């Protein structure tokens, strides 16, 4: 699985003009299930993100996790993280899991992140979404498992 993690002071996702999920302070997690991914990879990614120390402590060092600060996460599915741009000008997305598998792994990942004590709100799988955020730092981390 692949994720782009952003430390945020706030983030929200809107569908058809209505905010359907929000967070802050905490994490915006854009996540993509890739071909060959399974529940074990989703669990590993969730565990890693829950413990990722990217929040600052009293000495202004990145030593705290989202769990440590009592933060939450907004988890948004984003198959475009699977983009292959090596040839031509139009990205290919064949490395992404098929939609049914992607949805199941996205939902499993979100439940696993919750099981690690991180409150989560979500976007809507497959929907056209508008994501707003205030990146804190900025801190943006790319992660593959």
pLDDT digit string, tens, across residues 21-50: 999 999 999 999 999 999 999 999 999 999
Kindly list the catalytic residues: 78-80
Q: Could you give the number of structural domains in the chain?
A: 1
- Residue 138, preceding bond cis, omega within 30 degrees? yes
Q: What are phi and psi of 112, to 5 degrees?
A: -65, -40
pLDDT band at 52; cut points 50, 70, 90 = very high
Give SS3 for 5. Answer: strand
pLDDT digit string, tens, across residues 59-80: 999 999 999 999 999 999 999 9
Query: What pTM was computed for the model?
Result: 0.96
Q: Could you tell me the residue range of the domain that residue 17 belongs to? A: 2-144
Judge whether 74 and 122 are in contact, CB under 8 Å.
yes
Which CATH number does the domain housing residue 14 bear? 3.50.80.10
């Amino acid at each position: 699985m692949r994720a782009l993690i952003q430390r945020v002071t706030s983030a929200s996702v809107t569908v058809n003009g209505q905010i359907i999920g929000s967070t802050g302070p905490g994490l915006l997690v854009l996540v993509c299930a890739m071909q060959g991914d399974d529940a074990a990879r989703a669990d590993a990614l969730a565990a890693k993100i829950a413990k990722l120390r990217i929040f600052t402590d009293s000495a202004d060092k990145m030593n705290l996790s989202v769990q440590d600060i009592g933060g939450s996460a907004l988890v948004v599915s984003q198959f475009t993280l699977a983009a292959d741009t090596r040839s031509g000008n139009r990205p290919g997305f064949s490395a992404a899991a098929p939609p049914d598998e992607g949805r199941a792994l996205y939902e499993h990942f979100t439940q696993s992140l919750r099981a690690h004590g991180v409150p989560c709100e979500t976007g809507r799988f497959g929907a056209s979404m508008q994501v707003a955020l205030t990146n804190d730092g900025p801190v943006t981390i790319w992660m593959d498992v």
